[in-house]
Amino acid sequence: MKRLFGLVAFLAVFLTACATNPKMDWQSRVGNYTYDQAVLELGPPDKEAQITDGTRVAEWLTYRGRSGGAWVSYTRHGWISSMDTPQPDYYLRLTFEPNGKLQSWKKYVK
């Protein structure tokens, strides 16, 4: 029974890892990736601004962090408390030229 459980757990982890999307190579997309393609692929941006020269800056939240918090639990040996470490949000900023082509990109944490 333990062997079967181990095999099922291994397969679940293996298949999940295989289904994970590879990291995007944003540098290779500079100059040929368009704003419209970004919206189709990433969805509407969370923030967007257009500068007077026609340049468009758009930001997507790629990972929602979590705020820290405390928890307390009871074991047979007594009370245990702990603090969760807060995790930041991760963003992707894409800047598009007036013609709609990707000019630059940046990943940042806030």
Residues 97-110: tens digit of each pLDDT:
999 999 999 999 98
For the chain, report the end-to-end CA distance as a whole number of angstroms: 46
| Average pLDDT over the chain, rounded to an integer | 80
CA distances from 20 to 37, 86, 92, 106 (A): 21, 25, 18, 22
Residues 18-42: tens digit of each pLDDT:
444 468 899 999 999 999 999 999 9
Domain residue ranges of the chain, discontinuous segments joined by +: 33-109
- Among 43, 74, 73, smallest CA distance to 59 is for 43
CA–CA dist 88, 110 (Å, integer): 6
Whether this prediction's pTM lies above 0.85 is answered by no
The letter for the amino acid at 108 is Y
pLDDT computed for residue 7 by the predictor = 46
SS3 36: helix
- Judge: domain 33-109, CATH 3.30.1450: yes
